[in-house]
Amino acid sequence: MLQAIKGMNDILPGEVALWQTIEETARAICEAYGYQEIRTPVLEKTELFARGVGESTDIVEKEMYSFVDRGGDNLSLRPEGTAGVVRALIEHKMHAADPEVRVYYIGPMYRRERPQKGRYRQFHQIGVEAFGIAAPEVDAELMAMLYQFLREIGLPDVVLDVNTLGDQSDRPRYLEALRAHFEQHRSELCEDCLRRIERAPLRLLDCKSERCHAVALAAPLVLDHLGPASREHFDGVRRALDRLQVPHRVNPRVVRGLDYYTRTVFEAVSTGLGSQNAICGGGRYDNLVEQLGGPALPAIGYAQGIERLVMLVADKLALRAPTAVALVPVASEQRAQALEIAALLRGRRIRCILDLAGRSVKAQLRRANRANAAFAVVLGEEEIRRGQVEIKPLVEGESAEQVAIASLVDRLTARCAERAAG
């Protein structure tokens, strides 16, 4: 039997309402904060991710789906969304008219990680990026937007862990302190970490190996190595977060696994997820646009995994089920008329269930109940001759009603609208 690739999941019709609700909530909130959607290709040149995400990251070293295409180009499925968005920003000079660019994206990402609960090889992210604003208030505004979203989808117990990584003026001093610490513990580190001490000592702080983690816990803190500008920015972010009443705490262990971050970094954590407890991560990346060949534009963004959100909110989120109507032709002779009425209802965007397979009335009503239809209308020879039908309630709280067939579509439309409003 042919099966899907390990770590790549089907999202079946029974699950999709949850996804749609999450995505629609995200869109509505992003739009309210002035963000517009951007859609970039899932396939990009490998070089973009090598330069954008960082050569020494786990993602680029081990996790990308890369291949040489028939024309000899080195391509990769995108492992994250920011690099592609920055490429598009530069390519289309999106900042030319207005240097403040706010965009969001929703789509699949690909990483060849070891699949486990909450970690997949194709997963989906909702990501947000704001370009051109250096002020600390935008960091806080972005986190407030994230918090509002998480609250609205039913996750009030989320806390934002915030930290700062300093900027280019503080970084060299801090990296030296880190290197010195890790050099002292060489014998306890994994091979990857040993290789990275010189080139990318920040990476060691979020190595997944337990022994490295223990060494990382005792490492010097960036908070003790901040210059005045970075400290002022961080204080500004925290003041604005307080003002916006976003629950947060300073967690010096948040360093994020990507190379491009500067200053503010943050994660939204929930206690419901065990070891995969980060539902969202982000931060400032003030140098990336320039590094990828664009102008010096400060930037900040985050990305959250939809699969992890789905796991967390599955039993919490109230899904909007549209009111449905079942039309029940008694025999094949009534089918054409039922189809015509269905077309009129569907023309008004009312979900209409109509059996075209010639099942018995009983079987049709059973299916209507299973589909949670609120009303059923049985169309038999007698009803059509009299020009009169019954709107039959299938759910509690609705009443039966006799109507002329000529006004059936209007009455059903009104009943569905009343139900949606009530």
CA–CA gap between residue 21 and residue 317 (Å, rounded): 8
Report the nearest approach of ligand AMP to the CB of residue 81 (Å).
Answer: 8
Report the nearest approach of ligand AMP to the CB of residue 125 (Å).
Answer: 5
> What sign has the CA pseudo-torsion 191, 195, 197, 199?
negative
Stretch that binds ligand AMP, among 111-119, 165-173, 322-330, 361-369 (CB under 6 A): 111-119
Nearer to ligand AMP, 313 or 374 (CB): 313
Residues forming beta bridges with residue 159, ordered by sequence position: 269
Residue nearest to ligand AMP (CB): 305
Report the nearest approach of ligand AMP to the CB of residue 349 (Å).
Answer: 34
CA–CA gap between residue 403 and residue 279 (Å, rounded): 52
- Report if residue 312 touches ligand AMP, rule: CB under 6 A: no
Interaction residues for ligand AMP, span 65-84 (CB under 6 A):
80
DSSP β-ladder status, 66-68 and 74-77: antiparallel
Stretch that binds ligand AMP, among 279-287, 333-341, 383-391, 401-409 (CB under 6 A): 279-287
Report the nearest approach of ligand AMP to the CB of residue 167 (Å).
Answer: 20
The DSSP line for 252-272 is TT---S-TT-EEEEEEEE-GG
The contact mask relative to ligand AMP for 123-162 (x = CB under 6 A, - = no) is: x-x-------------------------------------
- Report if residue 248 touches ligand AMP, rule: CB under 6 A: no
Q: Closest by alpha carbon to 169, among 106, 127, 123, 232?
A: 232
- Alpha-carbon distance values, 35 to 98, 153, 193 (Å): 13, 19, 38
Tokens representing residue 255 in the block:
């360093």
Nearer to ligand AMP, 123 or 182 (CB): 123
Selected from 51, 111, 203, 233, the binder of ligand AMP by CB under 6 A is 111
Residues forming beta bridges with residue 104, ordered by sequence position: 37, 128
Stretch that binds ligand AMP, among 17-25, 112-120, 339-347, 382-390 (CB under 6 A): 112-120
CA–CA gap between residue 412 and residue 422 (Å, rounded): 15
CA–CA gap between residue 58 and residue 191 (Å, rounded): 13
Selected from 303, 317, 341, 374, the binder of ligand AMP by CB under 6 A is 303
Selected from 129, 139, 259, 307, the binder of ligand AMP by CB under 6 A is 307
Report the nearest approach of ligand AMP to the CB of residue 48 (Å).
Answer: 15
Helix axes 171-184, 191-199, angle to 10 degrees: 150
Nearer to ligand AMP, 80 or 141 (CB): 80
214-218: long-range contacts (C-beta < 8 A, 24 or more apart)?
A: 214/188, 215/181, 215/182, 215/185, 215/188, 215/189, 216/253, 217/253, 218/181
Q: Is the CB of residue 384 less than 8 Å from the CB of residue 405? A: yes
Interaction residues for ligand AMP, span 206-245 (CB under 6 A):
none
Stretch that binds ligand AMP, among 200-208, 277-285, 383-391, 402-410 (CB under 6 A): 277-285
Provide the phi-psi class of 20: left if phi over 0, else alpha when psi is between -120 and 50, else beta.
Answer: alpha
Q: Closest by alpha carbon to 230, among 308, 299, 163, 145?
A: 163
CA–CA gap between residue 120 and residue 117 (Å, rounded): 8
- Report if residue 278 touches ligand AMP, rule: CB under 6 A: yes
Nearer to ligand AMP, 161 or 307 (CB): 307
Report the nearest approach of ligand AMP to the CB of residue 377 (Å).
Answer: 45
Selected from 257, 294, 301, 329, the binder of ligand AMP by CB under 6 A is 257
Stretch that binds ligand AMP, among 68-76, 272-280, 375-383, 394-402 (CB under 6 A): 272-280
Residues of the chain by 3-state class (helix, strand, coil), percent to 5: 45, 20, 35
Selected from 35, 104, 120, 375, the binder of ligand AMP by CB under 6 A is 120
Selected from 119, 173, 211, 253, the binder of ligand AMP by CB under 6 A is 119
DSSP β-ladder status, 159-164 and 248-250: parallel
Where on the chain is the footprint of ligand AMP (CB under 6 A)?
80, 111, 113, 119-120, 123, 125, 257, 278-281, 303-305, 307-308
